[in-house]
Amino acid sequence: MRCNIGLTISFVSLKGGVGKTTLALETASALANDFGKKVLLIDGNFSAPNIGLYLGLNYSNSLHNVLNGEGLHTAIYECYGIDVVPASLEFKDDVDPYKLKKILEKHKNRYDFIIIDSSPHQSEMLPAIAAADKIFVVTTPDTVTLQTSIKAAKIAKQNHLPIEGIIINKIRDPKYELELTEIEAISSLPVLAKIKDHKKVLEANFKRAPLNVYDGVNEVSKEIKRFASALCGIKEKKGFWESVGLNKLIKKEVVNRELFRQGFYTSPLSINVSS
């Protein structure tokens, strides 16, 4: 049974290297493989697409062909349980990326979720924002990246689209990085997931497979699965110590996900992005 018909989600950031493509792919994989959802993954990076390369896809048609007038079905490739629409590195004709929203509207009834990996370039990020129902901002836990992430959130707000929260990615050494409370205070956004940097992500990329499939019990996979459970409105599983009542400290991101889960299908979170 579907929880929503074709809810379109965009992951955005105005800085490359934050792991946005990996996050989009892993979220799509978790939704499809762990929660049985029908998922369409779109590479919305029009000038420097990555998803086709990440998955090692051999494809002839791409999102560029679709924007140039060909049917969406001609550019869909099934991979690891996900319907994937890659973009082209070498498409010669000019295309209008703002057509994406109208194209996806025609296909929403076929999917539970449509995931868009957006470009870090503002001019290319805007069509991905325009096509989305919900926006998630991706950042790494450093001040420079966070400031660009806040700018992406402001752009989404200016386009009157709900900003559901922020995801902290590539956490390496908390001693030298911003804490969750600092990021929430600076961004005025709830943190919905904290994802560590892990060499298994590189291994999965080398194997051209989602980490969720390559190593589903990895701590990165588990956190993304918890985030995906919130998207589905499904209560996340408790850890062992929490299940036996010995873990008295509930992490802030877990509380945020529960609040998010409860309001996701009724009304968007009212987020005030600092001006």
Nearest to 21 by CA among 165, 172, 210: 210
Per-residue pLDDT averaged across 117-128, rounded? 92
Nearest to 86 by CA among 56, 113, 118, 51: 51
| Mean per-residue pLDDT over the chain, rounded | 87
Per-residue pLDDT averaged across 192-205, rounded? 93
Confidence of residue 41 (pLDDT cuts 50, 70, 90): very high
Predicted local confidence at residue 180, as pLDDT: 93
Kindly report, residue by residue over 134-189, the tens digit of the pLDDT. Answer: 999 999 999 999 999 899 888 888 878 878 999 999 999 989 999 999 999 999 99
Predicted local confidence at residue 190, as pLDDT: 93
Q: How far apart are CA 44 and CA 99, in angstroms?
A: 12
Q: How far apart are CA 140 and CA 149, in angstroms?
A: 9
Residues 62-78: b if buried by 16+ CB within 10 A, e if exposed: bbbbbbbeeebeebbbe
Nearest to 164 by CA among 28, 273, 275, 271: 271
Predicted local confidence at residue 264, as pLDDT: 61
Per-residue pLDDT averaged across 181-201, rounded? 93
- Whole-prediction pTM: 0.89
User: What are the residue ranges spanned by the domains of the chain?
Assistant: 7-263
Nearest to 46 by CA among 33, 64, 59: 64
Q: How far apart are CA 75 and CA 77, in angstroms?
A: 6
**Does the pLDDT at position 5 exceed 90?**
no
17 torsion bin: left (phi>0), alpha (psi -120 to 50), beta (else): left
Q: Phi then psi for 113, rounded to 5 degrees?
A: -140, 140
Residue 87 CA from chain centroid, whole number:
17
Residue 129, helix vs strand vs coil? helix
**Does the pLDDT at position 239 exceed 80?**
no
Kindly report, residue by residue over 68-111, the tens digit of the pLDDT. Answer: 999 999 999 999 999 999 999 888 778 899 999 999 999 999 99
**Does the pLDDT at position 255 exceed 50?**
yes
Predicted local confidence at residue 111, as pLDDT: 96
Predicted local confidence at residue 165, as pLDDT: 93
Nearest to 192 by CA among 261, 134, 145, 270: 261
Q: Which two tokens stand for residue 145?
A: 């990246």
**Does the pLDDT at position 36 exceed 70?**
yes
Per-residue pLDDT averaged across 227-239, rounded? 85
Confidence of residue 271 (pLDDT cuts 50, 70, 90): very low
Predicted local confidence at residue 246, as pLDDT: 47
**Does the pLDDT at position 6 exceed 90?**
no
How far are the Cα atoms of 116, 190, 202, 233, 243 from residue 256, in angstroms, in the given order? 23, 6, 29, 13, 19
**Does the pLDDT at position 64 exceed 90?**
yes
Q: What class is the 7-263 domain?
A: alpha beta
Per-residue pLDDT averaged across 207-229, rounded? 93
Q: How far apart are CA 121 and CA 155, in angstroms?
A: 12
